[in-house]
Amino acid sequence: MANFKTDAVIVGVGGAGGIIAAELSKAGMKVLGLERGPRLQTRDFEPHDELRYFQRQDLRPNSKTQPVTWRADANKRAAPMRTLNYGAQAGGGTVHYGALSWRMHENDFRARSATLERYGASAIPADSSLTDWPFSYADLEPHYDRAEYELGVSGQAGNVQGRKNPAGNIFESPRHREYPLPALDADQAGLIFNEAARKAGYHPFSSPRAILSQPYNGRSGCTYCGFCQAFGCHIGAKSSVLITKLPEADKSGNFTLLTGAMVYHVNTDNSGRATGVSFYGPDGSDNTVEAEVVILAPFIYDNTRLLLLSKSAKFPDGLANSSGHVGKHFMAHIGARIQMAFDDRHVNIFMGPSAQKHSIDDFNSDNFDHGGVGFIRGAQISVAPVALEGGPIGESTMNPPPGVPSWGAGWRDFFAKYYTRHAAIVAQTEDLPYPYQTIDLDPDIRDSWGLPAPRVTYDSRRPNEQKRMEFLAKKLEEIGHASGAYLVWRSRENGGAPGAHHMGGTRMGTNPKESVVNKYSQSWDVPNLFIVGSSTFPTMGCGFNPTLTIQAVAYMSAEAIVNRYRKHPGPLIDA
Amino acid sequence: MSSQNESRRSFLKTAVAGAGAVATGAVVPAAETRAAEPMQMSMPADEKHGAFFNADDAATVAAFAERIFPGAPGMPGARDADVLNYIDLALAGAYSDMQEFYRHGLNQLDAHCRTTYRQPFARLDPKQQDEVVSALEKGSVDEFRWPTARAFFTTLRTHTIEGMFADPVYGGNKDFAGWKLIGFPGAQPFFNKNEIQSRDVFTRAPMTGLQAQAAMPKKRG
């Protein structure tokens, strides 16, 4: 049993928590970071090993000892699921992510208002909690810019202060300057996609990624080895928080990181103020931290879990839950996918940065007219390996084309011929929020600390989402056929499972009765408690990967804590 | 052999009794499926086993993996890649929590084959073996309770693929047999711009396994 005292304690030093740790400690606050996993180094990420990192998920929480459970049907028991974005180490998911670094569109921050204006109230499903964000794109733009430049993002701007450039994404909202680094080189899959998408009349470009296309800030440029999604980068070209922001925090002299520290309770006093947290150490010890400010920044499930585990007489429904919205509005990106097989060329999908390589934005957000299509909101469409990393174990998970068996000589012959001659096109579709898609505590399954597992109750097969998936699958087929592939076929349905980029559970808003935190990720109920990460996202925004937005929002919170909260502790926005 | 089978059977009974006490909800039939008489099966001399499987189970798993990924002239299969060795080592290590899954699954498979063909799986001809694998894939095999036929099939398929395509350091993919067959060059530390944009097969040597990588240059040439 040990006791710690600090200005700020941060639970989880990942994509969001690592940024806040650096900003607060640089501003002179004493910061204690609690991380349940280890702190690894770049030399730990060599050699690359598909079995260890992709298949056995070595950089993600083990689904047996740290399970997250899922069920499609609220009347059934949940079972542990494989998670894609969850991290298990300092730096969190930014260590093993594909490093897609998108800004969302102006429209995305006001999805409800924009939908009402363009299509009327009847376009929004009656059971959806679609809403606007409590701030605008313009409010977030300086923080996006900071994240891109401090971390290192490569891309081609499509809109600098209103000047459009068709080499970039012409649908992007105005940025005030170019990316800090030029776009990554196209690989064969990217070239195929560019040509096919242009032929079909769309606007392809190199996806912006937090992967260095050139040396930057003393770090090496990308070697195009192909081991990004699921892997740590062997030369530190991926701009993970582990190698960008944590060293800044270290240098401040005000940052202490404890690894192997599993926080299980947020402590409060009789006045309703957070006093700190309790955590189990790697030796099984039970420890406490006293802090002036408590910042929760684990992956989204653990934000909801910690709040529910921290209920007390004063907070009978869980901490920070006077609204009753903790655990609600869970969302996920749902993928539609096609595979393409080529007879006239090799694609060598195992080469090049491995997640979504080149993309189009034509069917994302509200970038196209949804009149008459029967659904709202859209998807990012990109070319990628089937498994978002191109090794043979990942690619073996693709469903074979119609008529080809899944085992035996027929499958062997298919895979032997087309492993180097295939690519996939994926549509990453925006789920609308629904209040009854939830996270709570699993009554049956516990983790290795004896805590109830977070349980997701969710079914992707809502009418709006189903219609959008079918619409997008046809677009993918159209691009696939324009590529010259000899065969184009669809992936299997996913049984309602939550796909990628889980969000929600502690949504932000302008009304304390309808949200858990304000625009600075500050709890309405407990002003010295901040809850950060994509658990606060009131909508998914669009089909874009959320990490850069998570990071920009973290910068915004950190700035508010340093410049305003520290001088006048209390609510940053009056309820 | 028979005394081994005896001790194995009593172990399984104990395990079954234990399984009933945990709240898995799975009712596991007594694993009385293994014939008591010793089986006379010829093991190919190059099949390594022993980290986990006994000789009978090794023969079954090797035969099953070969149906999932069969060899052919000029095309290495699961036996050539030593998939059995991969699975055997995995069950003794990283997948040790799946030992009971395999024990029960193999016993159920044995019961099914003896009921239907009066022979263990490894002694069926390839056509019969394919009938069995196909029935498992469809889930239409009465003898399977836990694991289900479908779960057993899916797991063996996945583990066979891992044994074909994981780095040789894990005991399969012998001499890079799986990687050579499909054209995967292993974990290369870099590709240059011509290589990533090429429409041709990638042939630059060497194919790199884990143990060779430490000596490789790290940066793009």
Pair A292, A471: CB distance under 8 Å: no
pLDDT digits (tens, 9 = 90+) for A316-365: 999 999 999 999 999 999 999 999 999 999 999 999 999 999 999 999 99
Q: Where are the beta strands (DSSP E) in chain B?
A: none
Task: Tell me: pLDDT of B8 over 50.
Answer: no
pLDDT digits (tens, 9 = 90+) for A444-489: 999 999 999 999 999 999 999 999 999 999 999 999 999 999 999 9
Say if A409 is an interface residue toward chain B (CB within 8 Å).
yes
Pair B121, B61: CB distance under 8 Å: no
Pair A109, A553: CB distance under 8 Å: no
Same domain, B144 and B170: yes
Instruction: List CB contacts (< 8 A) between A226 and chain B.
Output: 188, 191
**Contact at CB, B213 and A350, closer than 8 angstroms:** no
pLDDT for A92: 98
pLDDT digits (tens, 9 = 90+) for B117-175: 999 999 999 999 999 999 999 999 999 999 999 999 999 999 999 999 999 999 999 99
Q: The tokens of A474 are what? A: 């046809």
Rounded to a whole number of angstroms, the distance from the CA of A272 to the nearest CA of chain B is 39
> In the structure, what pLDDT confidence band is assigned to residue B204 with cuts at 50, 70 and 90?
confident
Interface test with A, best of B96, B199, B202, B204 (most A CBs within 10 A): B199
Q: Which of A51, A220, A352 sits opposite B196 (nearest CB)?
A: A352
Same domain, B179 and B195: no
Nearest to A555 by CA among A124, A149, A45, A259: A149
pLDDT for B218: 55
Q: Which of B161, B183, B213 sits opposite A396 (nearest CB)?
A: B161
Same domain, B124 and B205: no
Say if A82 is an interface residue toward chain B (CB within 8 Å).
no
pLDDT for B217: 56
**Rg for chain A, CA atoms, rounded:** 23
Say if A406 is an interface residue toward chain B (CB within 8 Å).
yes
As a whole number, mean pLDDT of residues A16-20 equals 98
Interface test with B, best of A49, A206, A234, A412 (most B CBs within 10 A): A412
Pair A354, A385: CB distance under 8 Å: yes
Which positions ≥6 away from A174 have C-beta within 8 Å? A141, A159, A160, A161, A162
Same domain, B168 and B200: no
At B181 the three-state DSSP class reads: helix
Rounded to a whole number of angstroms, the distance from the CA of B150 to the nearest CA of chain A is 13
**Contact at CB, B197 and A185, closer than 8 angstroms:** yes
**Contact at CB, A187 and B197, closer than 8 angstroms:** yes
Same domain, B206 and B169: no
At A264 the three-state DSSP class reads: strand
pTM, 2 dp: 0.93
Say if A410 is an interface residue toward chain B (CB within 8 Å).
no
pLDDT for A505: 98
Task: Give the A window 32-61 contacts with B, CB below 8 Å.
Answer: 46-51, 55-56
> In the structure, what pLDDT confidence band is assigned to residue B50 with cuts at 50, 70 and 90?
confident
Say if A63 is an interface residue toward chain B (CB within 8 Å).
no
Tell me which residues of A are annotated as active site.
Answer: 502
Pair B55, B43: CB distance under 8 Å: yes
pLDDT for B213: 58
Rounded to a whole number of angstroms, the distance from the CA of B37 to the nearest CA of chain A is 32
Nearest to A437 by CA among A521, A507, A380: A507
- Is residue B118 one of the residues assigned to a domain? yes
Task: Tell me: pLDDT of A195 over 80.
Answer: yes
CATH number attached to the domain at A3-45+54-78+88-565: 3.50.50.60
Same domain, B214 and B130: no
Number of domains in chain B: 2
Which positions ≥6 away from A31 have C-beta within 8 Å? A6, A7, A8, A9, A10, A21, A24, A25, A249, A254, A255, A256
pLDDT for A541: 98
Task: Give the A window 420-459 contacts with B, CB below 8 Å.
Answer: 420, 444
- Is residue B175 one of the residues assigned to a domain? yes
Pair B39, B158: CB distance under 8 Å: no
Pair B107, B33: CB distance under 8 Å: yes
CA-to-CA distance for A5 and A295, rounded, in angstroms?
Answer: 14
**Contact at CB, B167 and A51, closer than 8 angstroms:** yes
Pair B62, B163: CB distance under 8 Å: no
Same domain, B148 and B98: yes
pLDDT digits (tens, 9 = 90+) for A434-445: 999 999 999 999
Q: For residue A9, which phi and psi values (nearest 5 degrees)?
A: -110, 135
Same domain, B169 and B71: yes
Instruction: List CB contacts (< 8 A) between B206 and chain A.
Output: none
Same domain, B144 and B201: no
**Contact at CB, B165 and A50, closer than 8 angstroms:** yes
Task: Give the A window 149-208 contacts with B, CB below 8 Å.
Answer: 185-188, 191
Task: Tell me: pLDDT of A575 over 90.
Answer: no
The set of long-range contacts for A191-195, using a CB threshold of 8 Å and a minimum separation of 24, is: A191/B197, A192/A340, A192/A347, A192/A383, A192/A423, A192/A483, A192/A484, A193/A357, A193/A358, A193/A382, A193/A383, A193/A423, A193/A425, A193/A479, A193/A483, A194/A358, A195/A483
As a whole number, mean pLDDT of residues A251-259 equals 98
Closest chain B CA to residue A350: B184
- Is residue B42 one of the residues assigned to a domain? no
Q: Which of B97, B182, B191 sits opposite A392 (nearest CB)?
A: B182
Same domain, B70 and B116: yes
CA-to-CA distance for B163 and B172, rounded, in angstroms?
Answer: 5
Closest chain A CA to residue B159: A393
Same domain, B111 and B196: no
- Is residue B40 one of the residues assigned to a domain? no
Same domain, B173 and B146: yes
pLDDT for B39: 44
Provide the domain limits for residue B76. 2-16+28-35+47-184
> In the structure, what pLDDT confidence band is assigned to residue B24 with cuts at 50, 70 and 90?
very low
Nearest to A410 by CA among B12, B61, B108, B75: B75
Task: Tell me: pLDDT of B45 over 50.
Answer: no
pLDDT for B216: 55
As a whole number, mean pLDDT of residues B88-103 equals 97
C-alpha triplet A188, A56, A429: angle, nearest 5°: 55
- Is residue B41 one of the residues assigned to a domain? no
* Residue type at position A311: K
